[in-house]
């Protein structure tokens, strides 16, 4: 406590970050970044595979909205850290990357479910009627009309989920799955504050860069789809009646 003076910390962190030995090997920064992104990628992929089909289907039918809203609010109340630790304590999963992937996938479900549902159910009914009038069957309606129109908002949900997952993957360090959180964890345990702050800087940078990249990509996509969808000029992800939480980072 009080052992930290700004100048000293900054030079220490810069020294730590520029030390070539911290950029190679299994404990090197590149390896930790890969670990971090692989865990996050699997989690988002699993969540998408689980969440998209039912949300698209329910959105197409326009039914089950309150059920999804309830899942959303219970999902928000579940502490991710508790889920990771509980999974790590099971005999089937155990400590390591699997526990983190599963917990994060669970955690990414609500934003994807809710946003996809809202996106699908908000497609202009007139457009759907017109498509039906042209003789489209349900499958064609979903594929050719509803999905393209719902895409910007669906993508916003996936973005929200991804950014959250990448931030939360930091916990991986606490259950032996590495990730960039490892530097924070070791730095804290060994009172090596240079390493701790270097870890904080790296994690924050990774999260902010990813968030910016997604925002950029979303703007590009929305601009292309916006002309068709007739909305989406708004840069922010559209929110359901009650602002969707970007829940626990």
Partner 1 sequence: MGLPRWDETFVGPPNPWFSWRWVSRHTDVLRQAAVEHITLTAASVALAIVVAFPLALLARRVRRLEGPILAVAATVYTIPALALIASLYPVFGLRPLTVILPLALYALLVIIRNLLVGLDGVPPDVVDAAKGMGFSRRRLLWRVEMPLALPAILAGVRVATVSTIGLLTIGGFVGMGGFGTLINEGFQAAVGRAEVVTASLCCLLLALVADLMLVTLQRFLTPWARSRTASS
**Binding to partner 1 in span 229-248, by CB under 8 A:** 241-243, 245-248
Site string for partner 1, 171-190 (x = CB under 8 A): x--xx-----x--x--xx--
Site string for partner 1, 207-226 (x = CB under 8 A): xx--x---------------
Site string for partner 1, 107-126 (x = CB under 8 A): --------------------
Distances (CA, A) of 115 to 24, 54, 219, 243: 40, 12, 17, 11
The answer to whether 20 contacts partner 1 (rule: CB under 8 A) is: no
- CA quadruple 126, 130, 135, 136: dihedral, nearest 10: -60
User: DSSP letters along 130-161, please?
Assistant: HHHHTT--HHHIIIIIIHHHHHHHHHHHHHHH
Q: Which is nearer to partner 1, 152 or 187 (CB)?
A: 187
Nearest to 39 by CA among 237, 160, 175: 175
What distance in Å separates the CA atoms of residue 206 and residue 166, rounded to the nearest whole number?
Answer: 8
Check: CB of residue 3 under 8 Å from CB of residue 12.
no
Q: Which is nearer to partner 1, 72 or 147 (CB)?
A: 72
Binding site for partner 1 (CB under 8 A): 1-4, 73-74, 76-83, 85-86, 88-89, 163, 167-168, 170-171, 174-175, 181, 184, 187-188, 193, 196-197, 199-200, 203-204, 207-208, 211, 241-243, 245-249
């Amino acid at each position: 406590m009080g052992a930290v003076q700004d100048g000293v910390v900054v030079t220490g962190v810069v020294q730590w970050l520029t030390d070539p030995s911290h950029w190679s090997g299994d404990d090197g920064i590149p390896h930790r970044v890969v670990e971090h992104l692989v865990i996050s990628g699997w989690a988002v992929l699993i969540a998408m595979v689980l969440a998209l089909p039912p949300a698209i289907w329910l959105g197409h039918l326009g039914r089950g909205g309150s059920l999804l809203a309830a899942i959303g609010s219970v999902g928000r109340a579940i502490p991710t850290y508790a889920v990771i630790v509980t999974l790590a304590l099971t005999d089937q999963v155990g400590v390591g990357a699997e526990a983190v992937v599963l917990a994060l996938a669970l955690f990414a479900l609500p934003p994807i479910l809710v946003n996809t549902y809202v996106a699908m159910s908000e497609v202009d009914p007139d457009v759907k009627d017109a498509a039906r009038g042209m003789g489209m069957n349900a499958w064609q309606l979903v594929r050719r009309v509803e999905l393209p129109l719902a895409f910007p908002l669906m993508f916003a949900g996936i973005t929200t989920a991804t950014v959250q997952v990448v931030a939360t993957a930091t916990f991986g360090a606490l259950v032996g799955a590495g990730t960039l959180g490892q530097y924070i964890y070791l730095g804290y345990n060994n009172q090596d504050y240079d390493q701790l702050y270097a870890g904080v800087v790296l994690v924050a940078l990774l999260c902010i860069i990813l968030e910016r990249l997604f925002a950029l990509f979303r703007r590009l996509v929305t601009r292309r789809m916006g002309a068709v969808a007739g909305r989406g000029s708004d840069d922010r992800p559209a929110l359901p009646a009650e602002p969707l939480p970007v829940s626990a980072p």
